[in-house]
């Protein structure tokens, strides 16, 4: 039967995401018509069985849609498929409530951008927002309403495979990026057809699993949680994210999916989150394995009572919630609240007015893989590439050089688009080989290419050809890294060095005495001490997306001067992990002349490459920084300035960074915390003054009594090109 309530629901659909509250009456009018089964149906999310041959949905699920016992689906996209499913919901279910279609659109839908960790190294918030916005436009054109992104989990754990999905280790930068991504996906409203719902995930603390193993226990102090891990979730909520996903892990003994403190206190009461909370995949059921619930039914009760609104794939609400309500273990009021939140968002999206709003085959054809999107993907990939080393200015490659391209990722297209590739098609991406061939034809040079070895395994038979090519070249470009699916969910590695025989290949290439440029493609920080010392140049390209090969070539040939800086520390050795820039001083800070200070016997404490680090083809000098004065009251603005000059011969961009240190606190404070940055562009010889403004709010933290405030006293304000090379001035905050 067609929709019973269209008359009540279709008025005033102007819809801004945050605007109350014309939806309330509409939502209530729908709720009043619903049976308990239909209400629980709105709280139920199932996946389709998308296969390589095409989309399918289990018979049982179709029946659920028809009966109104499933209100949302994921892994269902394309106009044709979503329309087919929406038809069942709207035309065949009793109330005709439209379905919500979700999908993991993490770094692009078809046009794939660099993996989010790579993209974060651009520190370019406008570019990051643009990539999310393009992803939303393509996804919306393919019938989708909802992305399970952004992942905003802070992580200090390069072993954890999901760092590729995040924005690195820093809460300040991570928060700005969370905001940019949420806004890119959602915009200010859902009036048009190019924005989709964002889902801030994974709430909470998922990026800190013990030993870096995915899904593992998370145990941290509430202070660390609030100071370091929580800010990006908060930023996402403040940017208007309409949905939040719980995480798989437990936090201080309580699984997030059953954690009332997290969902009701922190999220809803303290942070006024008004959207709905969805679980991660079967994370309700997993509370049984956690040893927190006796069985699925019990787990469902814990989740519902903790404030979960929607069960992803667990079928627990569908199976047991009615029974739990009858037994008085969950209240129907709680269920009504959850359904209200979900229906409201369907109204905000405009789905009651037009359930097919996002299903337009013409638009899908025009928007997906649009040339402007590909161009943006190329530009953002260039901005994400970090130059880690460039001895003798071997890069950019000078004209007329004989080039040997070597390595398992030279000709590869599929790896470029990384994990969580949504609907991306590896074969449609541009490899480094493709890009070199295009350039060679245009600019009239020749080069050789050889694979050398595979990404994994111990076969070295390809070395011979690679070395033969290398012998006759002037410069060797070795493209190595991780397989696309060595990072991502459930892809933890205990050894984060280059897999297989790749390092051996590089050693033999270096032994030829020719300059070797190592281009890395990977989804996490790697340990590369030998390469860092012996390669002539090192370029971190991450998994750069559909246009990755072109972007890498743009950098290697100097059409783009690299400007990115690391957002996650590169350790020298996995034994240093977790390693991060904002550590504390300890009572025995490292002293080279005292063995009883905090140190390793077998290696320095310092990382291979610190947070914030990255080079350019030009050089920048920093004059002495200035602060306006020494003493500031709590209502003053602290102003720090520094002049930067481009002292090289090409134009370049520099990410100027500002850190602070609170010298004495009611609790111990980090040695440095990023509190500002500016990306400036300078012509050769040009100088620019950069001005940073801080208020006492920027100096606030969770103090001994857990209030969030700044404390009076001395601070260092520090400025520099990365988190290590800093100059400082002392200031005082006075009451």
In the DSSP assignment, the letter for residue 156 is -
* Minimum distance from residue 208 beta carbon to ligand BGC (Å): 15
Is position 280 annotated as part of the catalytic site? yes
Q: Which of 61, 81, 109, 148 binds ligand BGC (CB under 6 A)?
A: 148
Nearer to ligand BGC, 73 or 432 (CB): 73
DSSP track, 615-677: B-SS-EEE---EES-SEEETTSPEEEEEEEEE-SSS-EEEEEEEEEEESS-SS--BS-EEEEE
CB 646 within 8 A of CB 686: yes
Contacts of residue 161, defined as CB under 8 A and 6 or more positions apart, other chains included, come to 214, 419, 486, 487, 488, 489, 490, 491, 492, 493, 523, 524
The smaller minimum CB distance to ligand BGC, of residues 169 and 489, is found at 489
Q: Judging by beta carbons within 10 Å of its beta carbon (0-12, 13-18, 19+), is residue 703 exposed, middle or buried? A: middle
Cβ-based nearer residue to ligand BGC, 281 or 542: 281
Print the binding letters for residues 472-491 with ligand BGC: x by CB under 6 A, - otherwise: -----------------x--
Q: How far is the CB of 281 from ligand BGC (least distance, A)?
A: 4
CB of 105 to ligand BGC, least distance (A): 10
Check if the beta carbon of residue 2 is closer than 8 Å to that of residue 345.
Answer: no
- The smaller minimum CB distance to ligand BGC, of residues 170 and 280, is found at 280
* CB contact at 8 A, 38 and 276: no
Q: Which is nearer to ligand BGC, 170 or 489 (CB)?
A: 489
Q: Binding string, 564-593, against ligand BGC, x = CB under 6 A?
A: ------------------------------
The DSSP symbol for 584 reads B
Q: Which is nearer to ligand BGC, 206 or 230 (CB)?
A: 206
Q: Is the peptide bond before 21 cis (omega within 30 degrees of 0)?
A: yes
The count of chain residues that interact with ligand BGC, using the rule CB under 6 A, is 6
Contacts of 39 (CB under 8 A, 6+ apart): 31, 335, 336, 339
Give yes or no for residue 421 binding ligand BGC (CB under 6 A).
Answer: no
| Least distance between ligand BGC and beta carbon 119 (Å) | 17
Q: How far is the CB of 203 from ligand BGC (least distance, A)?
A: 11
Question: Do the beta carbons of residue 617 and residue 562 sit within 8 Å?
Answer: yes
By the 8 A CB rule, do 138 and 193 touch? no
> Does position 104 bind ligand BGC by CB under 6 A?
yes
Exposed e or buried b per residue across 337-350, where buried means at least 16 C-beta atoms within 10 angstroms of its C-beta = ebbbbbbbbbbbbb
Least separation, in Å, of the C-beta of 474 and ligand BGC?
Answer: 46
- What's the CA gap between 533 and 693, in Å, rounded? 38
Does 311 sit near ligand BGC (CB under 6 A)?
no
Q: Site for ligand BGC (CB under 6 A): which residue of 39, 107, 183, 201?
A: 201
Say which of 170, 280, 311, 554 is annotated catalytic: 280
Written as six digits, the tokens of 100 are 């919500």
SS3 282: coil
CA distance 466 to 505: 9
Q: Which of residues 488-517 bind ligand BGC (CB under 6 A)?
A: 489
Say whether 148 sits in a helix, a strand or coil.
coil
Q: Which is nearer to ligand BGC, 256 or 502 (CB)?
A: 256
Q: Does residue 181 interact with ligand BGC by CB under 6 A?
A: no
> Nearest residue to ligand BGC, using CB?
148
The Cα–Cα gap between 626 and 73 comes to: 56
To ligand BGC, the closest distance from the beta carbon of 315 in angstroms equals 15
Pick 148 or 230: Cβ nearer ligand BGC: 148
Distance CA 469, CA 221 (A): 55
DSSP state letter for 264: I
User: Applying CB under 6 A, which of residues 190, 281, 292, 352 lies at the interface with ligand BGC?
Assistant: 281
280 in contact with ligand BGC (CB under 6 A) = yes
Least distance in angstroms from the C-beta of 154 to ligand BGC: 16
What is the set of active-site residues? 280
Residues that bind ligand BGC (CB under 6 A): 104, 148, 201, 280-281, 489
């Amino acid at each position: 039967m067609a929709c019973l309530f269209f008359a009540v629901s279709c008025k005033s659909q102007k819809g801004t995401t945050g605007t109350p509250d014309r939806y309330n009456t509409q939502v209530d009018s729908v709720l009043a018509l619903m049976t308990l089964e239909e209400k629980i149906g709105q709280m139920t999310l199932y996946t389709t069985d998308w296969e390589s041959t095409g989309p399918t949905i289990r018979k049982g699920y179709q029946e659920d849609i028809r009966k109104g016992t499933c209100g949302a689906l994921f892994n269902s996209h394309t106009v044709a498929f979503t329309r087919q499913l929406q038809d069942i919901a709207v035309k065949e279910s009793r109330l005709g409530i439209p379905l919500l279609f979700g999908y993991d659109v993490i770094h692009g839908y078809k046009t794939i951008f660099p993996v989010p960790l790579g993209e974060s190294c651009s520190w370019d918030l406008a570019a990051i927002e643009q990539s999310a916005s393009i992803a939303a436009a393509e996804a919306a054109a393919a019938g989708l309403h909802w992305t399970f992104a952004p992942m905003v989990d802070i992580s200090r754990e390069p072993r954890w495979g999901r760092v590729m999905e995040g924005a690195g280790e820093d809460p300040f930068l991570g928060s700005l990026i969370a905001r940019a991504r949420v806004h890119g996906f959602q915009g200010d409203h859902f009036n048009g057809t190019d924005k989709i719902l964002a889902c801030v995930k994974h709430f909470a603390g998922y990026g800190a699993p013990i030993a870096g193993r995915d899904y593992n226990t998370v145990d941290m102090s509430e202070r660390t949680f609030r100071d370091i891990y929580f800010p990006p979730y908060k930023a996402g909520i403040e940017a208007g994210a309409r949905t939040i996903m719980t995480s798989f892990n437990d936090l201080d003994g309580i699984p997030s999916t059953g954690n009332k403190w997290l969902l009701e206190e922190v999220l809803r009461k303290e942070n006024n989150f008004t959207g709905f909370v969805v679980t991660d995949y079967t994370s309700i059921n997993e509370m049984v394995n956690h040893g927190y619930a006796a069985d699925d039914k019990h787990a469902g009760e814990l989740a519902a009572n903790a404030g979960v609104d929607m069960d992803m794939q667990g079928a627990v609400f569908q199976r047991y919630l009615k029974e739990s309500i009858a037994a008085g273990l969950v209240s129907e009021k709680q269920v009504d609240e959850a359904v209200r939140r979900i229906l409201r968002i369907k109204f905000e999206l405009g789905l009651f007015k037009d359930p097919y709003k996002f299903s337009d085959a013409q638009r899908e054809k025009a928007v997906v893989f649009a040339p402007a999107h590909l161009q943006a993907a190329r530009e953002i990939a260039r901005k994400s590439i970090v130059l880690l080393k460039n001895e003798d200015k071997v890069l950019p490659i000078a004209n007329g050089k004989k080039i040997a391209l070597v390595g398992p990722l030279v000709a590869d297209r599929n790896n470029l688009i990384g994990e969580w590739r949504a609907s991306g098609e590896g074969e449609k991406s541009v490899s480094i080989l493709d890009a070199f061939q295009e350039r060679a034809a245009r600019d009239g040079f020749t080069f050789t290419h050889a694979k050398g070895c595979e990404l994994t395994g111990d076969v070295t038979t390809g070395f011979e050809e690679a070395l033969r090519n290398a012998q006759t070249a002037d410069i060797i470009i070795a493209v190595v890294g991780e397989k696309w699916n060595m990072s991502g969910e459930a892809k933890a590695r205990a050894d984060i060095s280059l897999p297989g025989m790749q390092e051996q290949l590089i050693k033999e290439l270096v032994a030829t005495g020719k300059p070797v440029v190592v281009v890395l493609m990977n989804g996490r920080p790697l340990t590369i001490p030998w390469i860092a010392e012996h390669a002539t140049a090192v370029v971190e390209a991450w998994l750069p997306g559909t246009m990755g090969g072109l972007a890498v070539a743009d950098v290697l040939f100097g059409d783009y001067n690299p400007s990115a800086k690391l957002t996650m520390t590169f350790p020298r050795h996995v034994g240093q992990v977790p390693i991060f820039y904002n550590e504390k001083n300890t009572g025995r800070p490292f002293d080279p002349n005292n063995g009883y200070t905090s140190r390793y016997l077998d290696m320095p404490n310092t990382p291979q490459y610190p947070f914030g680090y990255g080079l350019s083809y030009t050089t920048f000098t920093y004059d002495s920084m200035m602060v306006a004065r020494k003493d500031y009251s709590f209502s003053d603005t602290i102003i720090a300035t520094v002049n930067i000059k481009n002292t090289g011969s090409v134009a370049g961009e520099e990410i100027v960074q500002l850190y602070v240190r609170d010298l004495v606190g009611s609790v111990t404070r980090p040695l440095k915390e990023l509190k500002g940055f500016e990306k400036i562009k300078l012509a050769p010889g040009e100088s620019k003054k950069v001005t940073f403004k801080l208020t006492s709010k920027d100096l606030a933290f969770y103090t001994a009594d857990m209030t969030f405030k700044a404390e009076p006293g001395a601070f260092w304000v520090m400025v520099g090109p990365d988190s290590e090379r800093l100059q400082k001035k002392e200031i005082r905050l006075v009451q």
